[in-house]
Amino acid sequence: MEGGTALIEVKHLTKRYGSHTAVSDLSFTVEKGQIYGFLGPNGAGKSTTMNIMTGCLAATSGEVVIGGYDIFQDAAQAKKLIGYLPEQPPLYLDRTPKEYLRFVARAKGIPEKSIAAELDRVMTVTGTLDVADRLMRNLSKGYRQRVGIAQAVLGDPEVIILDEPTVGLDPRQITEIRELIRQLGKERTVILSSHILSEVQQVCTTILILSKGKLAACDTPENLERLFAGKSTVELTAEAAEGEIPGILSGVSHIVNRTANARQDGACDVTLELDTPAEKEVCREIFFAFSKAGKAILRMTAGKASLEDIFMELTDSGKGEETK
């Protein structure tokens, strides 16, 4: 590769299923030694993109270059650089982890004389040595996921791609898998997809936000929050009809978006997006506006825009659709 330290280059990637576009003109680069998070609502195109990047799915158009090898033209060479854990790990439940990993090692072309040492290495890294000789059907989902990660790490690939690695796990298992991902990221590039904002924020150094098959943002968590630092939100409940809210708030400054929902008790829940970090001053305006209208405010809270607010704005409140 020429210039920079890009390990993966995705250029104008598009995938269509009939008239439905799952991924649309997607371009980004992945640098060495980082943990990347693919973040997006269900149906945003995360799994489709990962399946294309790993050579499991053909693209309609575009390029994916991994370590200088085109995944479509030089698939065998490109795949040697990738370890992949799909959302549903391809485990054989009637085998032990050691038997399964030996099978995967042979399939990956690891020399027979090196397999024993390689199995010991990946089971040590993933914490599966203690269950190496137990049938996988008798293992917890957390341990099965660890075995799935172990097969991805076999052969020491430069890139580890994990699709929803903590889905279906209990809180303790989630914490353990997240820590394992952090450890893997110290020695190689890791890409993980998730629809869980806190997971990506805690684990990843760079976040790619996908919405309806398109790249909505790509930056560090800190920079994304800084980008929206000038915004804030106000939430309130008032004794007013939903239809009265626009008129009451018409003279209040800095409101860029407003939603109101009537409650069964006759009150109304209102959420306001502001284009200023000075939400306290705006709250005073809101209070006086409702007071002038003779309407009581039952509750009012304000705060700076969070990464969750950013995510919701960039993904259009999470609306999307995907074939897979």
Q: Where are the domains of the chain?
A: 6-221, 231-304
State residue 120's pLDDT score: 97
Residue 321 has pLDDT above 50, yes or no: no
State residue 2's pLDDT score: 42
pLDDT tens digits, one per residue of 178-199: 999 999 999 899 999 988 888 8
Mean pLDDT of 159-165: 95
Looking at domain 231-304, which CATH architecture does it have? Answer: 2-Layer Sandwich (3.30)
Mean pLDDT of 120-127: 96
pTM beyond cutoff 0.85: no
pLDDT band at 137 (very low <50, low <70, confident <90, very high): very high
94 within 8 A of 135, measured Cβ to Cβ: yes
The 10 Å Cβ neighbour count of residue 172 is: 9
Q: Which residue has the tokens 């980004």?
A: 28
Q: Which CATH number among 3.30.930.10, 3.40.50.300, 3.60.15.10, 2.40.37.10 corresponds to the domain 6-221?
A: 3.40.50.300
- ∠ CA(80), CA(84), CA(54), 5° rounding? 65
Collapsing DSSP to helix, strand or coil, 200 comes out as helix
Strand order in the sheet with 255-262: 255-262, 268-274, 232-238, 297-304
Q: Residue 101 half-sphere exposure, CB side, CA atoms within 13 Å?
A: 34
Mean pLDDT of the chain: 90
Mean pLDDT of 172-176: 92
Phi–psi pair at 219, nearest 5 degrees: -170, 180
CA 140 to chain centre: 24
